[in-house]
Chains A and B, each alone.
Chain A
Amino acid sequence: MPINDPIAEGLAAGWHHLDGSTMTEDVQLEADVVIIGSGAGGGTAADILSEAGLKVIVVEAGPLKSSSDFDMEERTAYPNLYQQAASMKTSDKAIGIFQGRAVGGSTTINWTTSIRTPEPTLEFWAAEKSVSGLSRNELDPWFEAMENKLSIREWALSPNANNDKLKQGCEQLGWEYTVIKRNVAACWNTGYCGMGCPVNAKQSMLVTTLPAMMTRGGTLLSRVKAVQIEHHKDRVFGIRAQALNEQLKPTGASVMLKGRHYILAGGAIHTPTLMMRSGVIDPYELLGKRTFLHPTLLSGALFDETISAHSGAPQSIYSDEFVWRDGAAGKPGYKLEVPPLHPVLLASKTIGYGRSHAELMEQFNQLQVTIALVRDGFHPKLEGGRLSVKADGSFSLDYPLTDTFWETARDAFASMAELQFAAGAQKVLPISEGMAMMGSWKQTRQAIADMSLAPLKTVVASAHVMGGCPLGEDRQLAMVDSHGRSHYLENLSVMDGSVFPSSLGANPQLTIYGMTARNATRLAGELLKTKSPA
């Protein structure tokens, strides 16, 4: 069946899109609002501001790719749609980080899990991080609006076997579990969300807010990377960007962006890096510190029956049994979920090589994988990572995996193994050097108690990059106020995952949609008040 490509259709209908790879000369572009980044934050802001009648330019460093390009192969998706071709890592290489880099940002490749910000997180921000006006009561109407816009609904089909094992384990053990809400419409249940939805069912920014913005006459620049915020005293007077070729190297053409207001939405890591590189005032040296990852451990389990973890909605069940057990600031908790498995992902996020690895890969369809996402940024001994900008303008992220993290990791491995055995696993493999497939919970429990855990030797991954440019009212703690407006530059806002003052303890996209909807709506009102008549 031929699949419509709404992006190809929109471009044919005359959307304003400029591809940096075709730019040969320097240009200057102007709008009411210039938005850097087209992901969860940038897309939502672009929609709301353009709907309010403001002229918007969205600038995206990655390429514009759409369903016709999404061939469901990792070798195409990773270089096209992921930061660093999905090989991004912390400076010691101990944590592999997945993050999007294409029009739609990480929403183009995310797994569609949509969760409202947990109340303990918002309470922690209010009590400890000087955040105001972001209680669940205040945010819920914004979540509801975004849920309606993006078709966020509880997944009504049966979970795939990978998720079902998580559910069964929880049922057996009496642990909490929840059926996930997903941002999909007419989903084909194929399981390839992470490579770009081939049938446009995922209601990512690529197919929702950004088309809406362009239909209203807004402009999208792809393969154009913001490199410098030009500022003087308390105002930004332009953002300088570079046009990039198909290999995402500078073409030599530069783009000067001028607006009444500027929104940074490049996502965690990139928004703080841009600000640091631009020498934005930061008297308390907050930028780039407290970058959170929800560092994630993996546990593999072999079942007799077919699991086919690549097939079907990637995430449809989660368990919060262990997230808040010791209170927000207590021992870090972990959320239990499952990832979709595909050959490169599984091959690289497991251990060993040669025959033992080949045997594991041969059991691809029998393998269930559970993941534990550790809630970082709450406990004083798990404060996240620290970004630094290198001489060439790129970044490095130091993320210390502390003893507190490893203690939590050990607990998490035990919970995952217990759950997998309870769900009927024949064997369980905590994914860390020195571990082998083990056949009983008793044996595995002992092995986990004795196992050595260490950076590089224990596989740690992340798909949730957050923080580095915190919001809040106290300038000693926050770069932007609780509405995302810079404390120092009056026409600059930040609307993306970098504003979180801790991680969330939940998958981030809906928090970013809801908070951005709130903050962009208020900004639109303020800008309209001062807009000169056309």
Chain B
Amino acid sequence: MKRRHFITGAFATTAALALGVSLYRPELEPVDAEDSHRALFAVLVPVLLDGALPRMSSPREAAINRTLDAISQTLTVLPQSQRDELELLLDGLENRLGVLVLTGSMTPLLLRSPEQLVVMLESWRDGFLEMQQQAYYGLRELIMASYYSCPEHWGTLHYSKPKI
């Protein structure tokens, strides 16, 4: 599967914008941080939630969108210190030097295939650098919590809250 499959519709432009600004013209107008992270999450979400997301493209796209909204929502309720840490990480993953430091390669995450992203996640997960481990566990928790906080995503769990 190709990256394009994941950066669906509306995100394609945002992704390009984010790349344009952070990689090539950092001194020019900054993009809206939330939106640029959205593009980043749009490539990470399908990898972390592989198997949980619906297979059919339209419900899948809806679930990804819903999760991206939920991630933005989760970020707003986190305490400032955690948001700052996550911002630092996300900013790092959106600029060339940060990506190099964290992943050992300069290829922007938005241009990596799901398989390459799995390799990256696994290297963080098994890594000895605390920074990489925290990146893995931080992103994992944020994405999992955001996805499973949505009742729309409970179907495969056969979980529902009681009617009172």
Q: Do A and B bind each other?
A: yes
Complex alpha-carbon distance, A85 and B51, angstroms? 27
Instruction: Report B130-164 CB contacts with A as 1/0, cut-off 8 Å.
Output: 10011001101101110111110110111101101
Q: Given the interface contacts A75-B149, A84-B78, does A343 sit within 8 Å of B52 by beta carbon?
A: no
Among B81, B125, B156, contact of A394 (Cβ-Cβ < 8 Å): B81
Q: List 26 A-B contacts (CB under 8 A).
A: A1-B164, A73-B149, A78-B77, A84-B78, A84-B82, A87-B82, A92-B130, A93-B138, A343-B149, A343-B154, A343-B159, A344-B148, A347-B147, A353-B121, A353-B140, A353-B143, A354-B49, A357-B51, A357-B52, A358-B50, A361-B52, A361-B157, A365-B158, A365-B159, A390-B81, A457-B133
- For residue A309, give the distance in angstroms from its CB to the closest CB of chain B: 10
- For residue B38, give the distance in angstroms from its CB to the closest CB of chain A: 19
**CB closest chain-B residue, reference A363:** B157
Complex alpha-carbon distance, A192 and B162, angstroms? 9
Q: Given the interface contacts A79-B77, A190-B164, A354-B51, does A73 sit within 8 Å of B151 by beta carbon?
A: yes
State how many residues of chain B have any CB contact under 8 Å with chain A: 41
What is the interface of chain B mostly: helix, strand, loop, or mixed? helix
Q: Given the interface contacts A192-B161, A347-B148, does A456 sit within 8 Å of B140 by beta carbon?
A: no
Residues of chain B within 8 A (CB-CB) of A390 are 81
Instruction: Report A1-15 CB contacts with B as 1/0, cut-off 8 Å.
Output: 101000000000000
Q: Given the interface contacts A84-B78, A354-B51, does A456 sit within 8 Å of B145 by beta carbon?
A: no
Among B48, B49, B149, B162, contact of A74 (Cβ-Cβ < 8 Å): B149
- For residue B150, give the distance in angstroms from its CB to the closest CB of chain A: 7
Establish whether residues B51 and A355, one from each chain, have CB atoms under 8 Å apart when the complex forms: yes
Establish whether residues A198 and B164, one from each chain, have CB atoms under 8 Å apart when the complex forms: yes
Establish whether residues A93 and B149, one from each chain, have CB atoms under 8 Å apart when the complex forms: no
Establish whether residues B141 and A348, one from each chain, have CB atoms under 8 Å apart when the complex forms: yes
Beta-carbon contacts under 8 Å, B100-152 to A? 118, 121, 125, 130, 133-134, 137-138, 140-141, 143-145, 147-151
Interface check A72, CB cutoff 8 A: yes
**CB closest chain-B residue, reference A198:** B164
Interface check B9, CB cutoff 8 A: no
Establish whether residues A456 and B134, one from each chain, have CB atoms under 8 Å apart when the complex forms: yes
Complex alpha-carbon distance, A342 and B157, angstroms? 10
**CB closest chain-A residue, reference B157:** A364
Among A188, A365, A433, contact of B164 (Cβ-Cβ < 8 Å): A188
**CB closest chain-A residue, reference B44:** A353
**CB closest chain-B residue, reference A361:** B157
Interface residues of chain B, those whose CB is within 8 Å of chain A, are 47-52, 70, 73-74, 77-79, 81-82, 118, 121, 125, 130, 133-134, 137-138, 140-141, 143-145, 147-151, 153-154, 156-159, 161-162, 164
Interface check A45, CB cutoff 8 A: no
Residues of chain A within 8 A (CB-CB) of B147 are 347
Complex alpha-carbon distance, A84 and B82, angstroms? 9
Residues of chain A within 8 A (CB-CB) of B133 are 456-457
Residues of chain A within 8 A (CB-CB) of B138 are 93
- For residue A510, give the distance in angstroms from its CB to the closest CB of chain B: 27
Q: Given the interface contacts A87-B82, A347-B144, A433-B125, does A310 sit within 8 Å of B159 by beta carbon?
A: yes
Complex alpha-carbon distance, A78 and B146, angstroms? 12
Top 9 A-B pairs, shortest CB-CB distance:
A358-B51, A355-B51, A75-B149, A343-B148, A358-B52, A79-B77, A347-B144, A364-B157, A354-B50
Q: Given the interface contacts A353-B140, A358-B49, does A190 sit within 8 Å of B82 by beta carbon?
A: no
- For residue A390, give the distance in angstroms from its CB to the closest CB of chain B: 8
Interface check A362, CB cutoff 8 A: yes
Residues of chain A within 8 A (CB-CB) of B151 are 73
Instruction: Report A388-416 CB contacts with B as 1/0, cut-off 8 Å.
Output: 00100010000000000000000000000
**CB closest chain-B residue, reference A192:** B161
Complex alpha-carbon distance, A201 and B70, angstroms? 31
Additional pairs, 17, CB under 8 Å, beyond known A74-B149, A87-B78 = A75-B150, A78-B77, A84-B82, A85-B77, A87-B141, A93-B138, A192-B161, A199-B164, A342-B159, A343-B148, A343-B153, A353-B140, A355-B50, A361-B156, A361-B157, A433-B125, A456-B134
- For residue B141, give the distance in angstroms from its CB to the closest CB of chain A: 5
**CB closest chain-A residue, reference B143:** A353
